[in-house]
Structure 1
Amino acid sequence: MNDQSDENRVRLQKILANAGVASRRVCEQYIVEGRVRVNGVVVTELGSRINPETDQVDVDGTAIQLDTSKRYVVLNKPTGVVSSMKDDQGRPDLRRFTADWPERLYNVGRLDAETSGLLVLTNDGELAHVLAHPSFGVTKVYIAKVSGRVLPQTIAQLTKGIELEDGPIAADKARLLDASGDTSLVELTLHSGRNRIVRRMMAAVGHPVEELVRRQFGPLHLGTLPAGRARELTTVERGALLTLARQADTPPGDPTQEQL
């Protein structure tokens, strides 16, 4: 081991404490109890040193963010805003929501201008690739206000599968939340990345979408975040996302080019 690599190595409990896992003393307990892994191997020695730039650490199976240059933000995108950092047509874009962070952030995937809800902004290209690419099966949950009274058999049809012009599609889950009056509320869970898929699915079963919001993206929930507001992910949320990314078997290709 050369001197340079030795210089980069830091005590494991210090790294965990700096990452916000817990106090250094509690982190020491985690190590002794065998709850900490480095590169997939349990480490129980308190004197252990690792390189935070190259080693991967998890506690109780949840990944810990060691690279502090990576930024993870969740935005409740309002309607009327396009999912782009710069719009050629001059429409309202995402730049107004990223001004508080010095890093150059990108949106993970897209929401239509008329669709509101959860959008992830990050400078972590590899994580963005895993979240955006449908082959990884990351689910998204939408609440759609649709025209007409939706029947239980229509919900069953959505999960069984319907035929669209670009091929068959089925919701992972579908649930009728309300069917009073001239409109209905439907919750759809999908992992598809196809364009305007919720709107096309509901139109195909005779219930065009009037309003659409994305409430969940993988392990992230919109919660009470107001429309037009952005916040950094919590330590728990970052851990859940990084765990998801590490579990994914990334296919070849430039991860920064997928849906950014």
Structure 2
Amino acid sequence: SKTYIAFHKPRGVLSTMSDPEGRDSLAQYFGSRNERLFHVGRLDKESEGLILLTNDGHWANRVAHPSHGVIKKYLVECDRSIRDGELAQIRKGVSLDDGFARPESAYAKGRIVEIAIHEGRKHIVRRIVESADLKVQRLVRTAIGSIKLGELPPGRSRRLSDDEVRNI
């Protein structure tokens, strides 16, 4: 049977099912299951929030592949309040060493910026924010498509509903 899980990855946990160096990873939360799960996309070690796990390769590819345009939402806490000019720069998009990156939307309130983006290049949200001369203090993925992190505490998981699996 197919398994679909939403997990709140805590900060400091690697998005991998095995780490030869024995660092904290998804394996500590899901490694003892009798089914082989893999994570859909990744979050860097210092980021936290929603990560999906499944044993359904076809579904995982549909969710993760940029061509399907699944929007991911992030809350980014910066080291100081975001100025209008910096927010405008983030919204306009930025040239990074691996090409142009532009969020679908960006809103700021005080030190928090909410960014929605449909691609998943390495550290993309962090790099977009840092390109506006802001320092990222905390980065939380709050949604993948219509699947929301909600009140799920760090280190906890829940099964996705049939609707969530279908509608993403």
TM-score, length-scaled by structure 1: 0.62
Q: Which of 135, 141, 162 in structure 2 is aligned with 1:208?
A: 135
| Mapping of residues 1-150 of structure 1, within 5 Å | 69-98=1-30, 101-150=33-82
Higher-RCO chain (CA-CA 8 Å, sequence separation at least 6): 2
1:101: how far off?
4.4
Query: Matches of 1:163 and 1:148 in 2, distance apart?
Result: 23
More helix by share: 1
For 1:193-238, what per-residue CA distance to the aligned partner results, in whole angstroms no more than 9, with x for missing partners?
1100111111111002110000001110001101000111123212
The 3-state SS of whatever aligns with 2:134 is: coil
One-letter code of the match for 1:118? L
Aligned match of 2:98: 166
Contact conserved, 1:97 with 1:230, CA < 8 A, in 2? no
Counterpart check, 1:239 vs 2:166? yes
Residues paired across the two proteins, number: 168
User: 2-side partners of 1:113 and 1:156: how far apart?
Assistant: 28
Shift of 1:100: 7.0
The letter of the residue matching 1:223 is G
> Structure 1: which amino acid aligns with 2:152?
L
SS of match in other structure, 2:11:
coil
CA distances 1:121-174 after superposition (whole Å, capped 9, x unpaired): 000101111111112111100000012221123222212111111111111100
Residue in structure 1 matched with residue 122 of structure 2 by the alignment: 195
CA contact 2:77–2:113 (8 Å) conserved in 1: yes
Query: Which protein has the larger Cα radius of gyration, Structure 1 or Structure 2?
Result: 1
Question: Tell me, which stretches of 5 or more residues in structure 2 are unaligned?
Answer: none
Structure 1 SS opposite 2:6: strand
Which residues of structure 1 form unaligned runs of 5+? 1-68, 242-260
Q: Does the CA contact (< 8 Å) of 2:5 and 2:157 recur in 1? A: yes
Are the counterparts in 1 of residues 81 and 112 from structure 2 also a CA contact under 8 Å? Answer: no
Provide the secondary structure at the position in 2 that maps to 1:227. coil
Structure-2 separation of matches of 1:75 and 1:101: 15
Choose from 139, 144, 148 the match for 1:217: 144
Q: CA RMSD in A?
A: 1.3
- Partner Cα distance (1:125, 1:235) in 2: 17
TM-score by length of 2: 0.94
Matched residue, 1:185: 112
